[in-house]
Chains A and B, each alone.
Chain A
Amino acid sequence: MPTSAPSSAPSSNEQHADRQRVMRVLALSQAERLETLYEDFDAKPDWTFARRPETGLVMVRGRTGGGGAPFNLGEMTVTRAAVTLNSGETGHAYVQGGNQRKAAIAAFFDAAWQSAALTARVKAEIVDPLNAEIEAEDRRVRAETAATKVDFFTMVRGED
């Protein structure tokens, strides 16, 4: 199983856990997959950009020794966008990479998920299938890695 939201999330984040899960799945999915799902999503509400897609940088932090004091490791590209549905909900996206269409579509689905009329459909048609694909891919990688696990056998020598 993939690890879920970062463990460092403060308690104020817990009320947002459901939405974080949605945003995580959208961020981790391939742009082409989101494009297809967006095209196939019936009866899309009209929407406008609350914030046009913009590509920028996030400085990724690591921890000294793996678990100690943070330091700045290096940057990654991130594209953000915000979309407002005609029903009023605003969705946000911060997604890795420079693909602006992906950010726009992710923001759209985040908005749609917040719209009571669409929540169940977004979950069933978008989030759940994408999550299943991500989990399947992670399982495949883990299984391939597991096949390279070393099984030691003890070589008996005269004495220790």
Chain B
Amino acid sequence: MYVAVKGGEKAISNAHSLFAAKRRGNTDVPGLTIEQIVNQLSFAVDRVMGEGSLYDRELAAIAIRQAQGDLIEAIFLIRAYRTTLPRFGYSAPIETGEMRIDRRISATFKDLPGGQLLGPTFDYSHRLIDFALDADAEVPAPEQAETDPLASVPRVTDLLGADGMIEPDPAEESEIGDLTREPLEFPAGRDLRLQNLARGDEGFLLALGYSTQRGYARSHPFVGEIRMGAVEVSLFAEELGFEVPLGRVTVTECQMINQFKGSMKAPPQFTRGYGLVFGHSERKSMSMALVDRALRWKELGEEQTAAAQDEEFVLSHSDNIQASGFVEHLKLPHYVDFQAELDLIRTMHREHAERLNATEDDTETPREAAE
């Protein structure tokens, strides 16, 4: 029964060397620099920052290179690294209304204050592979246009909110949950749900968001607004007694507007789902907003019918590091477990054979006759 699981050190060490050589590939080709990854693979960097839940472009690029482009592995490296660092504190909440906007679109209003700013996007492109794209070719400088420094770009939800057509932002609560400090418990508040979704796997949230569109917890979504750009972050430093500006992070915010909810007292209002993620990731922030809205079924007096509404299901399976840890642990030696199962099945075979023999002895009916 017992199977030794010691040994294999030499094999493991050689496997790691082989992996290192494979990672480097053909040494006639120049090695990737961190700057190249930061600058030219920015969506990969953004995904690793978002799901690694750590905003640091350089670290994300280092992890991507080390993981040979396996983004979930890179996210794992980032999550492991963050546990080695002390926590200085919690920032003041970022103000997306004061963002230096790099892109802002609305699917609900054609003309809106501040306008539709397409920014850098691959929307509206034909998705044809550009065989002629030369990584070293000179790129013409982007066009520039005059800006009005005083023009405000209000959030679409605030425009609708002014007329009472949409539910307001939820009021502040005294305690803000932090699932990096305390394990998630159910039912979870919206603060914890949003934290979980913000670092959740893009593919998982995309699939769940998609399921709500296909009728599983249908909520008639419209993209009220997506805005992407740089926001400043500041931290109250105890020893200084004031808020210190730390720097800027790029975030993508999605305001999803969904069908109404009213009551005897209040007239119907549009309801909302919210998405906010590090970096430039519209797919992720939109998916997050759809799932956030679906998870609000109880608060909005809806029926629970679908997976995207099941908070325990969604929040327990959104984390790709937990998920790949549990799935991939199946690769580790399970020799003892498996020997036990094998023993059991042998016993069952033996018993089955014995039963069969006993039956054949008892019944005289010839097979041919039955057929």
- The residues of A with any CB-CB pair to B shorter than 8 Å are 1-3, 5-9, 12-13, 16, 19-20, 23-24, 27-28, 54-78, 80, 92, 94-98, 138-150, 152
Contact = CB atoms under 8 A, between A and B. Distances in A.
A101 to B, nearest CB: 14
Given A66-B155, A70-B93, A152 B110 contact: yes
A72 B191 contact: yes
Nearest to A54: B86
Given A20-B242, A98-B56, A70 B176 contact: yes
6 contacts: A66-B276, A69-B176, A77-B54, A149-B115, A149-B116, A149-B117
Given A59-B87, A66-B96, A71-B190, 11 more contacts: A8-B93, A55-B85, A59-B89, A64-B170, A67-B97, A71-B195, A75-B53, A145-B119, A146-B146, A147-B142, A149-B145
Contacts, number: 264
Interface of B: 49-50, 53-56, 58-59, 82, 85-103, 110-111, 115-120, 142-147, 149, 155, 157-158, 168-173, 176-180, 190-192, 194-195, 198-199, 232-235, 237, 239-249, 251, 253, 255, 272, 274, 276, 278
B191 A145 contact: no
A20 B234 CA distance: 10
B97 A20 contact: no
Nearest to B102: A145
B145 A58 contact: no
Contact of A150 (B91, B115, B237): B115
B194 A138 contact: no
B117 A74 contact: no
Contact of B94 (A20, A62, A65): A62
A61 B245 contact: no
Given A94-B237, A149-B115, A57 B172 contact: no
A61 to B, nearest CB: 4
B170 A76 contact: no
B274 A65 contact: yes
A8 B232 CA distance: 12
Contacts of A78: 88, 235, 246-247
The B contact surface, by secondary structure, is: mixed
A2 B251 CA distance: 16
A63 B169 contact: yes
Given A56-B88, A64-B170, A8 B95 contact: yes
A140 B100 CA distance: 11
A56 B146 contact: no
A144 B54 contact: no
B147 A146 contact: yes
Given A20-B244, A58-B89, A147 B143 contact: yes
Nearest to B96: A66
Contacts of A141: 100, 102
Contact of A66 (B87, B253, B278): B253
A143 B144 contact: yes
B203 to A, nearest CB: 18
A56 B86 CA distance: 5
B248 A68 contact: no
B167 to A, nearest CB: 9
Nearest to B195: A72
Contacts of A1: 149
Given A3-B98, A146-B147, A74 B246 contact: no
Contacts of B171: 68-69
Contacts of B87: 56-59, 75
A66 B55 contact: no
User: Which one of A28, A55, A73, A144 has the greatest number of beta carbons of chain B within 10 Å?
Assistant: A73
B274 A12 contact: no
Contact of B158 (A6, A24, A67, A143): A67
A158 B283 CA distance: 37
List 8 A-B pairs, minimum CB-CB distance, nearest first.
A96-B247, A68-B169, A143-B144, A24-B245, A65-B169, A76-B55, A147-B143, A71-B191
A55 B235 CA distance: 15
Contacts of B240: 16, 92
B93 A62 contact: yes
Contact of A3 (B194, B232, B242): B232
B144 to A, nearest CB: 4
Contacts of B274: 64-66
Nearest to A139: B147
